[in-house]
Amino acid sequence: GNSVTQMEGPVTLSEEAFLTINCTYTATGYPSLFWYVQYPGEGLQLLLKATKADDKGSNKGFEATYRKETTSFHLEKGSVQVSDSAVYFCARVNTGGFKTIFGAGTRLFVKA
Amino acid sequence: DTGVSQNPRHKITKRGQNVTFRCDPISEHNRLYWYRQTLGQGPEFLTYFQNEAQLEKSRLLSDRFSAERPKGSFSTLEIQRTEQGDSAMYLCASSFPPIRTGNPSSYNEQFFGPGTRLTVL
């Protein structure tokens, strides 16, 4: 079936550290892939997306590359800030689809 | 504010009571979605509408749940005879329908509201 698996949190980093949050998906069809972020007390916001293999999504210093060969969409940032502390969700939508399937979320804490 | 809005933001109710939540999507969007998010989990799809038509319902949506979008604008989600297991964050999202282009992976972003947190005592 369709699923998304992401690394368990929480992830705790010091400011300016390198961030990787792993995400893999089941290889059913040709999904579009997303990272959403949820700041404390707020709704989900789309962080970045990639709609086909080898696409790289990027926003606010975050990047993720759609890797079909490894069915992965890992989130990276070169230098995190305290303000990046949030829960990050990896997600997929199948071609022409409507239902977003989310991973369980990874909480990130960034210490000053 | 032209984003997706949801009311109320918080609802505390006693087991067995009925509750109703409202979602106002972005005005140009004709698709509207409901999701449920429990603690420590990602959102799970419940149902979606295109205009006023409810086109898909998840098996998570028991008979106690009903969603409507009578005029193709705002939507309501009602839970009858609430149970403690219904405690969750209920999220609404809206979007345009997918654009069909030469790329079969075309997709339109879903914009999420802040959610309604339901606590059933």
Contact yes or no for A99/A34 (Cβ under 8 A): no
Task: Indicate if the pLDDT at residue A102 is higher than 90.
Answer: yes
Contact yes or no for A31/A71 (Cβ under 8 A): no
Strands B19-24 and B75-79: antiparallel
Q: Could you tell me if A105 lies within 8 Å of chain B, comparing CB atoms?
A: yes
DSSP one-letter code for A29: S
Neighbours of B24 (CB within 10 A): 17
Residues of B at the A interface (Cβ-Cβ below 8 Å)?
4, 31, 33, 35, 40-45, 48, 55-56, 91, 93, 98, 100, 103-107, 109-115
Task: Indicate if the pLDDT at residue B98 is higher than 80.
Answer: no
Convert the pLDDT of each residue in A6-47 to its tens digit.
Answer: 998 899 999 999 999 999 998 777 788 999 999 987 889 999
Task: Indicate if the pLDDT at residue B49 is higher than 60.
Answer: yes
Q: Residue B105 is nearest to which of A42, A52, A91, comparing CB atoms?
A: A52
Rg (CA), chain A: 13
Task: Indicate if the pLDDT at residue A108 is higher than 90.
Answer: yes
Contact yes or no for B4/B110 (Cβ under 8 A): no
DSSP one-letter code for A84: G
Phi-psi region of B102 (alpha: psi -120 to 50; beta: other; left: phi over 0): alpha
Interface with chain A: mutation pick from B45, B110, B111, B117, highest number of A CBs within 10 Å: B110
Beta carbons of B91 and A43 less than 8 Å apart: yes
CA dist A2 and A4 (Å) reads 7
Residue where the block lists tokens 């293999």: A53
